Chain A
Amino acid sequence: DVKVTQSSRYLVKRTGEKVFLECVQDMDHENMFWYRQDPGLGLRLIYFSYDVKMKEKGDIPEGYSVSREKKERFSLILESASTNQTSMYLCASSSGAEGYSPLHFGNGTRLTVT
């Protein structure tokens, strides 16, 4: 089974801090994604990557950046955390070049910015 591991389940950070969310997958998947999930808004794509060092903006990239130096690892960076970035962050991976491959999600990081 594919395993997507997010390094923290819960994080509490202060406004203005730089925050790193880490995600590792163990199935050699080409594609990795970062979503945030908010009540009533569903899952919204922040960034995705289809190869090492490659990245594409999703629907809500403002205030975020990403890094993919190795195939198995995809990091989300909040450059200067703000309270409106309090959310559940979900990492996912998928295989193949097709855009219909099922997404495999981690269990999420619940981030609170105070």
Chain B
Amino acid sequence: SQKIEQNSEALNIQEGKTATLTCNYTNYSPAYLQWYRQDPGRGPVFLLLIRENEKEKRKERLKVTFDTTLKQSLFHITASQPADSATYLCAHSWGGGTYKYIFGTGTRLKVLA
């Protein structure tokens, strides 16, 4: 069955360092990968989308990569700040009128001051 895994449940890093979160998928090839941020008691907020034919996408201090050979997406936050502390979710979708999104269980990032 289609499965997406975020293999770190929690990640602690020092302020100023680069945080790297991993999303792996098995048994299928999604056309799109999305990353969301979720704060406690809030709904997820969309951050970035990357297509299967794109290797990398950037937005300010955020960078996402998509490696279809490794079946993996990496999400980087450079110069991390305590305000970046949150749970980050990856999601796969297929497009073309298919509305199925598969979400990972999330990685809880804590940036230590």
Partner of B43, one of A48, A56, A97, A106: A106
Task: Say whether B32 contacts A100, CB under 8 Å.
Answer: yes
Task: Say whether B96 contacts A107, CB under 8 Å.
Answer: no
Interface-facing stretch out of B10-18, B78-86, B99-107: B99-107
Instruction: Classify the interface of chain B: helix, strand, loop or mixed.
Output: strand
Task: Tell me if A104 counts as interface (CB < 8 A to partner B).
Answer: yes
Task: Say whether A56 contacts B99, CB under 8 Å.
Answer: yes
Instruction: Classify the interface of chain A: helix, strand, loop or mixed.
Output: strand
Task: Say whether B42 contacts A107, CB under 8 Å.
Answer: yes
Contact size class for B?
20 to 34
Interface-facing stretch out of A13-21, A38-46, A68-76, A78-86: A38-46
Residues from chain B with a CB closer than 8 A to the CB of A106 are 43
Given the known inter-chain contacts A31-B99, A45-B101, A56-B99, please indicate yes or no for A99 contacting B43, CB distance below 8 A. Answer: no
**Bound Cα distance A102, B48 (Å):** 9
Which of A's residues lie within 8 Å of B, judged by CB? 4, 31, 33, 40-43, 45, 48, 50, 56, 90, 92, 97-100, 102-108
